[in-house]
Structure formats: C-alpha cells, structure tokens
Amino acid sequence: MSDLVVVVYPTEQKAEEIRQRLFELQKEYLIQIGDAVIGTKTESGHVKLNQLMNTTAVGAVSGGFWGLLIGTLFLMPLVGAAVGAASGALGGALSDFGIDDAFMKNLGETLQPGNAALFVLVQSVTGDKVLEHLRGTGGVVLKTSLDHSKEQALRDALAGQPLAAPSAA
C-alpha cells in the first residue's frame, strides 16, 4: 500500500532539492517512490505541475516508432510514422500515472503564488533513516495519508526537532 505525502516549500528550487534528495535515498534502498511531482502556483493563479515523465512525449515517440514500423509494411513509412506519433501523443496526453493530476491541481489552488508543493507517493520506506536525512529541511506538511504518529514524526523532522526515542513496549 502506498502513502501520499504533500509538503509545501517556499520555492520551487527548494522542493526540487528535496525531490533530488529523495531520489538519492531511493538509490540507497531507504525509500521506494511511486511518483514525485512538484506543483507551483503562478502569479496569474495557474497551477503548473512538474512531473517526472511527460506522457505525451513518451506516447508520441512510441507511437511514431510503431507507426513507422507498420507504415513500412504497407510501403508508407512517413504516413505511418506521422499517424502513429499523433495517436501516441493523444494516448499519452490522456493517460495518467501515479498521483491524480486533478487532485494535485485542486490542492495546488490552495498554495500562495511562488510556493511549491512536493507531492510524493511513497510505496515503502525505512522511516527513521529517511526522517534523519530530511531533518531540518523545512517545509510544511499540507496533507498525508500517514497515521497520526508518523505524520507528527514527519512534521518534527522537517522542523529540525530530534526524533523521539522508541518506547519500550
């Protein structure tokens, strides 16, 4: 089961710095990330999502390849590539992986212009080690699907407070 964590940072650069730090922790097998998106609100009030993968571009490349291949069979490779790229781009634009875009845009409406929200879909985590790496990085927890104790531990770590000693139960 995955958990969603949304943390607001004062700038997009700070959110990107934390996202890159999480990717480094993923290389150390301390966290497994399903999706990590940065949402910002422009001065005009538009919410922009900085996603890991541009599904439209991936669809266009994939569709172009398959269209070229099929078009070659019918002796019309350019037409096949063009049709394949267009249909692949359309399919990619309509597909959504990871965190729901509409959810992120709705939550992004609550941001102040210039602030950035880091949306992370966490599949698994070694909590105490990851929190130690995130200690004192700042940010305000906006929304999580964590239980109350884990959410409070995240809030404390972001604020730079020491980890609570585990109780001997």
Q: 162: pLDDT confidence band, cut at 50, 70 and 90? A: confident
Terminal CA-CA length for the chain? 26
Contact between 129 and 26 under an 8 Å Cβ cutoff? The reply is no
Looking at the whole model, is its pTM more than 0.85? no
Give CA 121 to chain center in angstroms. 7
pLDDT of 36-87, one tens digit each?
Answer: 999 998 888 889 988 875 555 555 566 666 666 676 777 777 776 677 666 6
pLDDT of 97-122, one tens digit each?
Answer: 578 888 888 988 899 998 999 999 99
